[in-house]
Structure 1
Amino acid sequence: MTWLCEYIFYSHILLITILVIILTIRGALSAVHTQDFHPKDWYIPVLASTAFAGIVGFAWQAFTRFSPSKTIRIAFWLSPLLTCAVGILLICIGTPVSSVASAIAFVSAIIQSIYACCVNPRLENATNIVTVSIVDKPPKVTDILLSIIIGTLCSAFLVTGIGGATATGTRIDSLFIFLIIASLTWTMQIIENTIQVAVSHVKFMQFAHTHDVAFMAAFKSAVEKSMGGICFASIFVPVVGVITGLARTVSMVSGDVNEFMFSSANYCSGITSWLVAYGNRWGFVHEGVFNRGIARSSNDTRQLFRRREIQNTINSDLTSSFCFLTGVAAGAMSALIGGIWAFVIHRSYATGVTMYTFFTGYLLSRVAMAWIQASVSAYYVAYSEYPQNQRLDPSHPAYMTFGRQRPQV
């Protein structure tokens, strides 16, 4: 299965590159002959916002590196505010599509705000685990910068194809735009997860064995030995994450309302438990260190957490939420810049530009924050395998015990 995913990924890269080039050329020719599409008014806001997203992503990880406590708190409160601002912009644009998108933005902002209030007591623990995970020999700035630049160039190239499809605006072009967005999502997920595999390899060896592994050596190993598993996981793990979130929502809403809802919640919980066992981000650690395959690695780490009785701690960890919210905040910043710019110079482009730039901003921020999440994953797995290791923070076992007893919010 993994070799097939790798083959499909590389084949799709070739095909999507050809498609983007054709769409871009066709869009340019259409703009010359019909004058209905103004390339400068579309491309400049989109490409400038994409470049800005790369800068914001780099800034997020830099702030986290130097001040985890402040950065985590800022992310949890800034993200809903910026999402609300995007909703206001979409209302001002005034198209039917932007009105629907604005409603989604406002609902999302409310959910984020409620979530931030609920998890506020756990932010100190989140700060502690992030701090202790990243303090020891983080990746070089040049390595992080290189990954962000690659992601930015990838995003910029693919959105040029979206611009070409927008120029003609036929029904088939809507399909092309969907395919390009799907390709962008998968490609950026693979870049992010390759970084996670490489960094978790490096950090696990530091935590567990006091052995230093060069990041580029680990990255090369991930590309050569684990790319198939990474390609598969880049589809499977996000889907599992969405299903898990929906299952938790059903569980929270159902309570003891009625027997049907209670049974549905239990059924969803059973399905998600099985899915998580064979596809979770913790599996990237063993994938990088032992190259066991993502399914086996995920199951091994899940069983390891269960034996150590720290599943509540793992399920309550806020690192993934923190990285998600930094992505939302970065996407919102990019959307505000691109959307306002397009709104001023060519209002009819504002809706599309706002949504595309939000998407690219979110994905680029997740790439930039991948090493943070990988470091935390490596720390948890290293602690679970070697709980008496003096290399680990001596205060952390108390936190682990706290996690066993505290119910998840």
Structure 2
Amino acid sequence: MKRCKEMINDDAVTAINVQNFHIQVQEEKLPYIIPNQVEESSIQLETAMVAGILVLRLFRVLFFLHMVLIAILVICLTIRGLLSAHSHHFHPKKWYPPLLTATGCAGIVAFTWQWFTLCNPSRALRTAFWLSPLLTCAVGVLFVLIGSAAGLTIGVIAIVLALILSLYACWMNPRFDYATKVLSIAAASPPAKTTTVVNLSIITGTVYSCFLVSGIGGATAVGTVMDTLFILAILASLAWSTQVIRNTLQVTIARVKYLHFAYGVEMDLRIALRDTFNYSMGSVCISSVLVPIITVVHGSARAISLIVGGTDEFLFSCANCYATVAATLVSYGNRWGLVQVGVYNKGFVQASMDTWEMLKSVGLEPIIDRDLTGSFCFLSGMAGGAICTLAGGAWTFAVHKSYATEVSIYAFLIGYFMCRIEMAWLQSCVSAYYIAYTENPQNSRLDPAILFRLEEFQRYGD
């Protein structure tokens, strides 16, 4: 412990000396500065900082306020649904058990998958890429068998998606070796108490999902247009809340792993988690809204560019314009910025911008653009959601077919989000590994895997 403190003190002294050196150089280059310009720039900087702090506080307040409002809404809907179930021909005993079972299944799948990725991340990667298309296809078949209009539509989409995921797995096969190596390096020696913290997060998410399910059932019992809006609001709350849990884990674990990779310092995960709760929840809340949206935009832009190609000049120009917009959005909000949120307590947007500039400066942008960690986490979520859909949807199909479509959809969403919570620790480790390399490519503590990949990409391309 004493040695760690000495190392931290040495790093702090070095940082101060470097900062003083930069200040001295600036003074030598700029011997005369107009006082009014300095005053104006300082005022603008202070205004921007205050505005950023207010936005972060606003999002934090909005998140906790929405939690209170959703809790009140769910309680009211549950009570109303139980009181009016018989008058609206709603069968709670045929609706609740399958969905609650699927929710419990989501927790079990998340626990199991966490153990698998912790023990053998490289095998888990390959399993996710090949298992997810099969399970997605099975879900598509289930929806087709349900036979409703919505079920047929979702079933066809799921089967087509399964085919696309299969082709994607074949296309990504050459990148598996590098991806498994990075995962093995990043996941080695996870911070102490990681399993405990992740398990508690999964339990929290599962219990909260069960609570929301009761509200969804209460709204389904009456089934008015307003109840449909209530259900959408509850599902939006589920998405935001689970994203907040996930990003809280990412900020916390990324900070600990970054210090390990960059300086060889071991930080207590509980202290990092406490600091995240105290200082970074605003950034966590805003990132939980921005990152999924920007990720969808960026992914759709890449897909459109691949489909359009250069066959039509007009379509190509439109796709290129859309891709440019998506690339700009990524620089303002990306998951890599969560590392600096935890390490330097920056605002999320500023952290994303600074991180993206660093990644571009060392030439890592094409490497992380081809990183399979995000795809691995997404496919793990798809597989988890599919398992929950098969569990809850098949049961509902057997006991009350008319409920099968909606129960299957809810089960998939819950399973997907629970598995994404579980994968947060691995994604944060990989992010910390890349950012530690970005800030100091000559760091002797880091494995040269990224350097070799950069050289390989510069020689042979993708």
1:266 equivalent in alignment to 2:314: no
* TM-score, normalising length: structure 1: 0.97
Q: Tell me the secondary structure at the aligned position of residue 34 of structure 1.
A: coil
Following superposition, the deviation at residue 407 of structure 1 comes to: 4.5
Distance across 2 between alignment mates of 1:405 and 1:104: 39
Change beyond 3 A, Cα 1:405–1:283: farther
Q: Which residue of 1 aligns with 2:63?
A: 9
The one-letter code sitting in structure 2 at the alignment partner of 1:96 is A
1:99-248 residue pairs with structure 2 within 5 A? 99-140=152-193, 141-248=195-302
Aligned to 1:41: 94
Q: Kindly, what percent of the aligned residue pairs are identical?
A: 48
Once the two structures are superposed, what CA deviation does each residue of 1:87-144 show, in whole Å capped at 9, x if it has no partner? 1111111111111111121121111111101001101111000110010234522111
In structure 2, relative to structure 1, the CA distance for the partners of 1:337 and 1:405 (3 Å cut) is farther
Q: 345, 357, 362: which is aligned to 2:399?
A: 345
Report if aligned partners of 1:84, 1:105 keep a CA contact under 8 Å in 2: yes
Instruction: Note the alpha carbon deviations across 1:31-87, whole angstroms, 9 max, x for none.
Output: 2x4261111211111111111111111211211111122111110010010000011
1:83 aligns to what? 136
Q: Which runs of 5+ in 2 are unaligned?
A: 1-54
The residue type paired with residue 355 of structure 1 is I
Give the C-alpha shift of residue 403 in structure 1. 4.0
Aligned partner of 2:127 among 71, 74, 83: 74
> CA 1:139–1:188 in structure 2 vs 1: closer, same or farther (change >3 Å)?
farther
Aligned to 2:3: none
Between the aligned partners of 1:288 and 1:221, the Cα distance in structure 2 is: 8
Q: Is contact 2:359–2:438 with CA below 8 Å preserved after alignment?
A: yes
Q: Secondary structure at the match of 2:334?
A: coil
Paired position in structure 1 for 2:454: 400
Q: Which residue of 2 aligns with 1:305?
A: 359
Give SS of 1:137's match: coil
Q: Answer yes or no: is the 8 Å Cα contact 1:240–1:272 preserved in 2.
A: yes
| C-alpha contact 1:58 1:368 (8 A) present in aligned 2 | yes
SS in structure 2 at match of 1:107: helix
User: Larger radius of gyration, structure 1 or 2?
Assistant: 2
Q: Is the 8 A contact 2:338 2:348 kept in 1?
A: yes
Matched with 2:151 is 98
CA distance in structure 1 between the partners assigned to 2:460 and 2:246 by the alignment:
31
State how far apart, in whole Å, the 2-side matches of 1:120 and 1:390 are: 30
Which residue of structure 1 lines up, in the alignment, with residue 7 of structure 2? none
Structure 1 pair 405/323, CA: closer, same or farther in 2 (3 Å)?
farther
The 1:263/1:405 distance shift into structure 2, 3 A limit, reads farther
Distance 1:264 1:330, change over 3 A: same
Alpha-carbon shift at residue 395 of structure 1 (Å): 4.1
Q: Provide the C-alpha distance between the structure 2 equivalents of 1:266 and 1:313, rounded to a whole number of angstroms.
A: 20
Q: CA deviation at 1:266?
A: 2.0
Deviation at 1:258, TM superposition (A): 2.2
Q: Structure 1 pair 405/58, CA: closer, same or farther in 2 (3 Å)?
A: farther
Equivalent-residue separation in structure 1 for 2:367 and 2:171 (angstroms): 16
Q: What's the CA shift for 1:183?
A: 0.7
Separation in 2, partners of 1:191, 1:351: 28
Judged with a 3 Å threshold, the aligned counterparts in structure 2 of structure 1 residues 8 and 407 are, in CA distance, closer, same or farther, namely farther
1:364 alignment partner in structure 2: 418
Aligned length: 407
Change (3 A) 1:56 1:406: farther
Distance in 2, matches of 1:139 and 1:400, equals 31
Structure 1: state its 5+ residue gaps: none
Which amino acid in structure 1 is aligned with residue 97 of structure 2? Answer: I
Is the 1:61–1:372 contact (alpha carbons within 8 Å) kept by the matching residues of 2?
no
Secondary structure of the equivalent of 1:281?
A: coil
Judge conservation of contact 1:312–1:407 (CA < 8 Å) in 2.
no
Contact in 1 for aligned 2:182/2:449 (Cα 8 Å): no
Conserved 8 A contact 2:121-2:187: no
Shift of the 53–73 alpha-carbon distance from structure 1 to 2, 3 Å rule, reads same
Amino acid corresponding to residue 250 of structure 1 in structure 2: I
Q: Residues 310 and 403 of structure 1 are in contact (CA less than 8 Å); yes or no, is this contact kept in structure 2?
A: no
Alpha-carbon distance in 1 for matches of 2:333, 2:87: 49
Query: Counterpart in 2 of 1:316?
Result: 370
Deviation at 1:288, TM superposition (A): 0.4
User: d(CA) in 1 for partners of 2:391 and 2:403?
Assistant: 13
Q: Give the partner amino acid of 1:185.
A: A
Residue 383 of structure 2: aligned partner:
329
**Corresponding residue number in structure 1 for 2:43:** none
- Name the CA distance, whole Å, in 2 between partners of 1:196 and 1:395: 23
Which whole-Å deviations, capped at 9, do the CAs of 1:138-165 have from their partners, x for residues lacking one? 4522111111101111111111111111
CA contact (8 A) 2:130 2:166 kept: yes
RMSD: 1.3
Distance 2:376 2:455 in 1: 22
